[in-house]
Amino acid sequence: MLKINNIKKQFPSVRALDGITLEIKEKEFFGLIGPNGAGKSTLINIIVGYLQMDEGYIEFNGKDIKELGISYKKKIGLVPQSIALYEDLNAIDNLKIFGSLFDIPKKELKEIINEKLNAVGLYERKKDLVKNYSGGMKRRLNLIAALLHRPEILLCDEPTVGVDPQSRNAIFSYLQDLNTSGTTIIYTTHYMEEAEKLCNRIGIIDYGKIIALGTLEELLNLLPPKKSIFFVKNGLTESKIEEFKKFGKISINNSKYKLEANDEFRFSEFFAALEENGIDERFIEVYKPNLETLFLNLTGRIFRD
């Protein structure tokens, strides 16, 4: 659906994008994650056409977006990272302004505005000035402002920053419904659990390059296949610990024993040994790698800006 070919973007003091090639498929919920300054917003703004690329090109259904012009812009919606609303206007007047950018007929616009306000729980507050909205309400309004023209692709640039779990979950389920009913979504976030929960496919971007790309499962397979198992200490005596040395290296980690499984480790044998030694499974924790582990492995732990 959207083919991004070798995009480069240089700002005076930094190369924000250094050759991004990426294909977004129709109806995908695509996650773009990366540290601060990695280039996510720059890429999003180039896809939407708010920023010019220095090199490369983007195709929408096989056609260069530069040639498609306005017909492409009507198919794409952006939820920007910084909230872009008129504080001194109410929700309806804000949405009317956004709607007017897309030449939506008045009657239709009125219907869509009501439908969207309802969908994100703002209908009752539609006449309140935006400056009196909570952070979560502003984020929800910022989201629907991008949807009035019913875009085929929705780009969300960190749409849940500063939002409480209620609003966040309302935004998730709304986006999931939108995706199920056919909208392609590109979603940037710093919250790994959001990407894990929402996205069919994830790209990790760092220093303007895609450094990993795939489904969550494919990405987690990039980690060394190391299993760590933790035992709560009071579930075990020293002599019992001896029994478990055949499964790997055991060390003390804070108040727990840590077993780093060796290559021969099999869960079936391990659980049998637990039972033989009368150790309740409640005393063990199996460490499972997640997206955050991978992310930190690939992007390191130094500060970014």
Ligand X SMILES: Nc1ncnc2c1ncn2[C@@H]1O[C@H](COP(=O)(O)OP(=O)(O)OP(=O)(O)O)[C@@H](O)[C@H]1O
| Residues near ligand X (CB under 6 A) | 11, 14, 16, 34, 36-42, 81
Residue placing its CB nearer to ligand X in the complex, 14 or 286: 14
Number of residues that bind Mg ion (CB under 5 A): 3
- Beta carbon of residue 49, minimum distance to ligand X (angstroms, whole number): 15
Is 160 a binding residue for Mg ion by CB under 5 A? The answer is no
CB of 29 to ligand X, least distance (A): 19
Site pattern 17..46 for Mg ion (x: CB under 5 A)? -----------------------xx-----
Taking the complex as a whole, how short is the minimal distance between the CB of residue 80 and Mg ion, in angstroms?
9
- Between 16 and 47, CB nearer to ligand X: 16
Q: Which residue is nearest to Mg ion (CB)?
A: 41
Rounded Cα distance between 280 and 68, Å, is: 64
Beta carbon of residue 188, minimum distance to ligand X (angstroms, whole number): 7
Contact pattern for Mg ion over residues 65 through 84, marking x by CB under 5 A: ----------------x---
Residue 39 contact partner, candidates Mg ion, ligand X, none, CB within 5 to 8 A by sort of partner = ligand X
The item of Mg ion, ligand X, none sharing an interface with residue 37, based on CB under 5 to 8 Å by kind, is ligand X
Contact residues: Mg ion, CB under 5 A: 40-41, 81
